[in-house]
Amino acid sequence: MSPASSTSPHGQSPLRTVQVLGGGNAGSSAHVRSLAAGLVARGVRVTVCAPVEADHTYDFTGVGADHVHVPRSSDPASVAALRAACAEADLVHAHGLHASFRAVLALGGRRTPLVVTWHNRAHAEGARAHLLRLLERRVAKTAAVVLGTTSDLVDRARRTGARDARLAAVTLPRSRPSVDHEDPDRLPPKVRAELGATGRPLLIAVGSLDRHRGYGVLLDAARLWCRLDPMPLLVIAGEGPLRPVLQRRIEDEELPVRLIGRRDDVGELLAAADIALLCSSWESRSVLAQEALHARVPLVATAVGGVPDLVGDAAELVPYADAEALADAVVRLLGDPERCEELRDRGVRQAATWPTEDETVAQVLSVYDELTQPRPLP
């Protein structure tokens, strides 16, 4: 780990940081927990401003950070709560567009440095897309540093007016082993039986049921692989506004697909799967892709956003919105055990190239020091 200081010079008090989180994204929430743990371990005082349900899920207080409940909305009460939490901060670090905009409003004209991490790209159409572009511009121009999790997010920040945009070292924190083999009720065969995939291939997709996830294309592909014997079962874990539409298609077309809602056992689902599927129109550092490679599960993913750089040659990549290419890739893998094993081995090697949690914390702390430590006189 590269050296980085955590306290002010000449015996002054430790650096005080506020992490602002919207709370709706699993990747950014896990990142903030990991970052908070690393900063606290280095003597930094950390306050996490996030909805209370985010603290219940990610336990920021459990790693030594303070937690302040700040709702996701940008109403005056939410901004006032954030402003009070940031009053004594040496530096504020916001994660995601909406959290970043709330931080801009809360800081007002203060000289407190603002660091922003863009973990993903906002998805919207029409008037809302125009509004999001205005928010992006306001945030990018206000932040001292914008950290993007992919090179195209860094480019987007620069085009939007950021004075300093850099590529972020962001890793997916490793959780406990996804399957406890001491518990026979959670072994892959048991999980497959619960899902209805005994004696047939199991395909897993995970993510909110939103338009940009590409689930309509995934259902088109499922119709194409119905000819296989045994017929694969596709299980989609997640909730969202498209659930009624997707469920109606599944029933009307009698597709071999199950919607199982939001789950907290994604690691166990992946451990039981034959193939993981990622079909989004855009992704940065996809949590599912990282978990699949760590779990040695072959991955078929769309070649969009940061996915190609993230997975390298350790996944089958297909064009977005091409149901036939997606179905062909799945069928090929199901019929080629050697290729699957090759992807498993490549996945382990690719995952070893990703930044570690220590490297991520060190990079962020070096940015903090750059913005808060006094500069020597020339």
- Is it the case that residue 348 has pLDDT exceeding 80? yes
Q: What is the pLDDT averaged over residues 329-341?
A: 98
**pLDDT score of 186:** 58
Contact 150, 285 (CB under 8 A): yes
- Is it the case that residue 359 has pLDDT exceeding 90? yes
pLDDT, greater one: 219 or 178: 219
Q: What is the pLDDT averaged over residues 125-147?
A: 92
**pLDDT score of 197:** 96
DSSP readout, 28-54? HHHHHHHHHHHHHHTT-EEEEEE-HHH
- Which DSSP helix (H) or strand (E) runs through 205? strand 202-206
Q: Cβ of 188: how many Cβ atoms within 10 Å? A: 18
pTM, two decimals, is 0.86
Alpha-helix residue ranges (DSSP H) falling in the chain: 26-41, 52-58, 76-85, 97-107, 126-142, 151-160, 188-195, 215-224, 243-252, 266-272, 287-294, 307-311, 323-334, 337-351, 357-372
**pLDDT score of 171:** 81
**pLDDT score of 109:** 81
Q: What distance in Å separates the CA atoms of residue 116 and residue 32, rounded to the nearest whole number?
A: 12
pLDDT in tens, 253-312: 999 999 999 998 999 999 999 999 999 999 989 999 999 999 999 999 999 999 999 999
- Provide the mean pLDDT of the chain: 90
Q: What distance in Å separates the CA atoms of residue 223 and residue 253, rounded to the nearest whole number?
A: 8
Q: What distance in Å separates the CA atoms of residue 72 and residue 239, rounded to the nearest whole number?
A: 18
